[in-house]
Amino acid sequence: MSSWIVASSAVTFGRFATGPLHRLEEAGCSVRLNPFGRPLNGREMVEFAQDADALILGNDSLSAATIRRLHKLKIIARYGVGFDGVDLIEARANNIQVTYAPAANREETADFTFGLILDLARCITHMATSTRDGNWNKLVGTSLYGKTIGIIGVGQIGTAVARRAMGFGMDVLGYDIVQRTEPTIYGLIYTTLNDLLRRSDVVTLHVPLTSATRNMIGTKELKIMKPSAILINTARSNVIRQDALSKALEAGTISAFATDVFEREPPKHMPYFDFDNVLVTPHVAGSTKESGERMGNIVVDNILAAKSGVEPPDLVSAQTLYTTAFDAAAAASADSR
Which residues are marked as active site? 236, 265, 283
Burial 308-323, CB ≥16 within 10 A → b, else e: eeeebebbbeeebeee
The 3-class secondary structure across 179-201, one letter per residue, is: CCCHHHHHCEEECCHHHHHHHCC
Question: Which helix (H) or strand (E) is 202 found in, with range?
Answer: strand 202-205
**Whether the Cβ atoms of residue 220 and residue 248 lie closer than 8 Å to each other:** no
Instruction: State the CB neighbour count (10 A cutoff) for residue 133.
Output: 8
State the DSSP string of 83-135. -TTB-HHHHHHTT-EEE--TTTTHHHHHHHHHHHHHHHHHTHHHHHHHHHTT-
